[in-house]
Each structure stands twice: as C-alpha cells, then as structure tokens.
C-alpha cells in the first residue's frame, strides 16, 4: 500500500509510543517521515532505521516542541530538506497526573508549553507551506471527555488543542487543508501504570487497552485522500470509553 507516496509527514514526539506507531504506519503507506524527538536521539534513530529497513524513507530531527521557535524550525527544516510538507501530526505531549493543590506554576507552564503552545506554532508555520490536500492531526486524549480527577492542568492543555482544531479547520478549509483531532483512550505506552491498565480495561466495552497501532491506523485514515471530507472533528479512538 502506498497511498501516501510522495507525501512528506512530520510526526512530533515519535521516538516511542503512539508517535512511533504513527510514524511507522505513515512510512508503510509511502510517506517520507520526519521522526521528531526532544531528547531520545537513540530511540529516534532506531525508529528511522526500522523504517528504512522496510524500504521506507525517514529522518530524525531534534526539536523541543515546548518552544515556539523550535516548533517552527522543525517545519522550516523539513521544507528546506524535502521541498514540501503535506502532513503534520502533533503528537508530542506529556501526561501530568497532579491534583490542583500539588500543581506548581512551573508544572502548569510545562503542560501548556508542550501540549498546547508548541503545537499551535507548529501549525502556524505549517499553514504557510501546506498546499491543497494538506492534513493536520492533533493528538489529544479521551480524558477531556471524562470526569477525570487529578490532572486538570494536563487536561486543560489538551482541551486547548481540541479547540485549535475547530478554529483552524474553519480558517484553513478554503485552502483545502483539513484539521482533525484524534483522542486516544487508555493505550499501552510507557505512561501506563497497573492501576490505569485495570481502569482502562474495565471502562472499554471491548475489555482491553488500546495498542499504539490502533491509534496509528486511525491517523493513517485521517491523513489519506479517503478522509478528504472529514475536518474539524474529534475522533474518539478509545475503544468505546467515550460514546
């Protein structure tokens, strides 16, 4: 399958977890993938090597997605190297399970910077180069639609990302660019604890956790030509924990 042949995709925070699965899936579909990482260069190189080993094309690019200038630079360097950008997946983020009374100003600023500010300015830069048929996908969380205590700063930052999707879908629609959100539920990544695994399995009517590939397959559809009529939506990819 090479439905994305000739396309260039950036997947932020793609050295592990859901981001890695998305990068690998888009490469399988023929895209040239920019594997973005903040600190884990070795892991990012492993992702690139794995993609290349299957005949795909990928490079690793470091940028701290909590900083607006580095988020912009990631986009501009991609265009400089490949001459275009077709797909931006804002996946980089950090789960912060802290209740209100334990949340410091530094905690709050970090959540907003990585989960909301960086993606915003990456989208701003991408909007200057995306052409007709361009795709932006923001990775949020089902937590914004649940009564989920002890993570208000994190959930607030992700809720902002969801609102960006709605507004930018309107702004960019006249240029044929779609903007959508994918909200994973409890997914087997490094952030999972035994308690969260149990909660997630019990909440889903499918009685299991999500796998990173489950989310990657949804993203692959949204960035495809078949999803051209889908924009401004929040796709709940949580195994039915939100209906």
Written as one string, the DSSP assignment of 175-238 is GT-EEEEEEE-SB-STT--HHHHHHHHHHSTT-S-B-HHHHHHHHHHHTSGGGTT--S-EEEES
CA angle in degrees (0–180, nearest 5) for 189-192-197: 115
The beta strand positions in the chain, using DSSP E, are: 8-11, 32-37, 57-62, 87-90, 135-139, 178-184, 234-237
Q: Which two tokens stand for residue 108?
A: 């709050």
Region of 35 (left: φ > 0; alpha: ψ -120 to 50; beta: rest) is: beta
Catalytically active residues are: 154
Is pTM, for the whole model, over 0.75?
Answer: yes
Q: What is the pLDDT of residue 92?
A: 97
Q: Where are the domains of the chain?
A: 8-237
Q: Which two tokens stand for residue 48?
A: 């690139």
Q: What is the pLDDT of residue 148?
A: 82
Averages of pLDDT over runs of 10 residues in the chain (243 residues) are 88 97 98 96 98 98 98 98 98 94 97 98 98 97 92 97 98 98 95 88 95 98 97 98 95
Domain 8-237 CATH superfamily? NAD(P)-binding Rossmann-like Domain (3.40.50.720)
Q: How many helical (H) and strand (E) elements, i.e. helices and strands, does the chain have? A: 8, 7
- Whether the Cβ atoms of residue 37 and residue 44 lie closer than 8 Å to each other: yes
Q: Which two tokens stand for residue 135?
A: 């795709």
- Whether the Cβ atoms of residue 185 and residue 210 lie closer than 8 Å to each other: yes
Q: What is the pLDDT of residue 193?
A: 86
The whole-angstrom separation of Cα 123 and Cα 168 is 9
Q: What is the pLDDT of residue 147?
A: 84
- Whether the Cβ atoms of residue 122 and residue 73 lie closer than 8 Å to each other: no
The whole-angstrom separation of Cα 55 and Cα 35 is 16
Q: Which two tokens stand for residue 60?
A: 């690793």
């Amino acid at each position: 399958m090479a439905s994305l042949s000739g396309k260039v995709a950036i997947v932020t925070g793609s050295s592990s977890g859901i981001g890695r699965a998305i990068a690998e899936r888009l490469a399988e579909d023929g895209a040239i993938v920019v594997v973005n990482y903040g600190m884990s260069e070795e892991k990012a190189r492993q992702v690139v090597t794995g993609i290349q080993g299957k005949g795909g094309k990928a490079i690793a690019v470091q940028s701290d997605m909590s900083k607006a200038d580095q988020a912009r630079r990631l986009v501009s360097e991609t265009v400089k190297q490949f001459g275009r950008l077709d797909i931006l997946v804002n996946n980089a983020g950090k789960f912060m399970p802290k209740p209100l009374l334990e949340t410091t100003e530094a905690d709050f600023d970090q959540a907003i910077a990585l989960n909301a500010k960086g993606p915003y300015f990456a989208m701003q830069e991408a909007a200057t180069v995306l052409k007709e048929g361009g795709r932006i996908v923001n990775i949020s969380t089902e937590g914004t639609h649940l009564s989920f205590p002890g993570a208000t700063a994190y959930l607030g930052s992700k809720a902002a990302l969801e609102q960006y999707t709605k507004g930018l879908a309107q702004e960019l629609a006249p240029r044929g660019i779609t903007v959508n959100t994918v909200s994973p539920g409890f997914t087997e990544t490094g952030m999972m604890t035994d308690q969260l695994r149990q909660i997630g399995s019990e909440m889903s009517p499918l009685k299991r956790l999500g796998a990173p590939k489950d989310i990657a397959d949804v993203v692959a559809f949204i960035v495809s030509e078949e999803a051209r009529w889908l924009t401004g939506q929040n796709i709940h990819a949580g195994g039915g924990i939100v209906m």
